[in-house]
Amino acid sequence: MNARPIIEAKGLTKRYGALVALDGVDLEVQPGESLAIFGPNGAGKTTMTRILASSLKASAGTLRIAGRDPRVHDRETRAMIGLISHQTFLYDDLTARENLLFFARLYAAHDAEARADTLLRSLGLIDRAEDLVRTFSRGMQQRLSLARSLIHEPQIVFLDEPFTGLDPHAATVLQCTLERLRGERRTLLVTTHDLGRGLDLSDRWVILSKGRLAAQGLSREADRATFESSYFAHLAASRRVGATA
């Protein structure tokens, strides 16, 4: 029997004026589950991620994180969540270590310095710990951003297009780290255009299109070639509908 979902969303809707970015999405994610969220640009992936991560308010619908209403238990909910976004959320003129310690202190993280060192070492950044972030490559900044999001040992980690702009080495380090997080039974929600990586990293997948959940399934049951062709066929169909509407 499944445990109580760690994320329960019902009818999540987000409107920006006349534009409906998210249109009545229902979603449940179990503790320790890894979910890949696919969809074309503008499908509502980032909006959904930010609402689930409690950094954006929904226009309608209900959300429960670990059985609690994030609007009521906002600080406890935020303490459970780590988020990697398109932006790194880092300060260019602080060193890598200073960035991590700053965020660790905001989360009252236990043994912050040791935790920061552990993350810097595991992400291959320990030799650059005292360097300013402005001197880092995009891949290094993304790895440091991952460390930032994990500094408080969150139960739920949201990753919004984490592989975008990474070189192969940085992408491999990120993938290994995410696999380790899966091994630790943390809940992961990954939005990505990289179908292969998304399926590899997830237990379940959903496709978001025009703000709605268009399809979902189990990653282990997805035949890669069939999945890719049906995904692109689905995108083409949704574009045709959009063009005729």
Partner 1 sequence: MSRPARPVSPGFLRSSWIVASKDLRLEGRTLDAISAMAVFSLIVLTVFNFAFDLTTVRSVGVSKLVPGVLWTTFAFAAIIAFARSFQTEKFRDSLSALVLSPVDRGALFAGKALANFVLVLVLQAALLPLSAIFFDYDLLAVAAPLLFVVVLHTLGIAELGTFFAAVAVRVGRGEALLATLLFPVSSPLVISAVKCTSAVLEGKPLASVQQWLLVAAGFDVLYFLVALVTFEYVVED
Q: Is residue 121 close enough to count as binding partner 1 by CB under 8 A?
A: no
By C-beta, is 42 or 107 nearer to partner 1? 107
Q: Among 162, 125, 146, which Cα is nearest to 46's?
A: 162
Cα 213 from Cα 12, distance rounded (Å) = 11
Q: How far is the CB of 177 from partner 1 (least distance, A)?
A: 19
Lookup result for tokens 């070189």: 167
Instruction: Give the one residue of 24, 28, 107, 124 binding partner 1; rule: CB under 8 A.
Output: 107
Its sign, for the CA torsion 52, 56, 60, 66, is positive
* Binding-site member from 40, 42, 79, 126 for partner 1 (CB under 8 A): 79
**How far is the C-alpha of 228 from the C-alpha of 50, rounded, in Å?**
26
Residue 160 CB, nearest distance to partner 1 (Å)? 11
195 in contact with partner 1 (CB under 8 A): no
Q: With binding defined as CB under 8 A, does residue 113 bind partner 1?
A: no
Spatial contact of 3 and 39, defined as CB atoms under 8 Å apart: no
Say what the alpha-carbon torsion angle 108, 111, 113, 119 is, to the nearest 10 degrees. Answer: -90
Is there binding between residue 81 and partner 1 (CB under 8 A)?
yes
Does position 6 interact with partner 1 (CB under 8 A)? The reply is: no
User: Strand ranges (DSSP E) for the chain?
Assistant: 7-16, 19-29, 34-38, 60-65, 81-84, 156-160, 187-191, 204-209, 212-218
Q: Which of 221, 183, 93, 95 is nearest to 147 (CA)?
A: 95
What whole-number distance in Å separates Cα of residue 159 and Cα of residue 12?
A: 19
90, 116, 189, 222: residue in contact with partner 1 (rule CB under 8 A): 90
Does 54 bind partner 1 (CB under 8 A)? Our answer is yes
Asked if 192 interacts with partner 1 (CB under 8 A), we say: no
- Figure out which of the listed residues 60, 106, 236, 237 binds partner 1, where binding follows CB under 8 A: 106
- Asked if 75 interacts with partner 1 (CB under 8 A), we say yes
Please choose, from the candidates 147, 151, 156, the residue with its C-alpha nearest in 3D space to the C-alpha of residue 77: 156
49 lines the binding site for partner 1 (CB under 8 A) = no
Rule CB under 8 A: say whether 138 interacts with partner 1.
no
Is residue 150 involved in binding partner 1 (CB under 8 A)?
A: no
| Dist. CA 181–CA 159, nearest whole Å | 12
Nearer to partner 1, 55 or 172 (CB): 55
Chosen residue from 3, 18, 108, 243 binding partner 1 by CB under 8 A: 108
Shortest distance, CB of residue 144 to partner 1, whole angstroms? 11
The binding site for partner 1 (CB under 8 A) comprises: 50, 53-57, 75-76, 78-79, 81, 83, 85, 87-94, 98, 102-103, 105-108, 110, 148
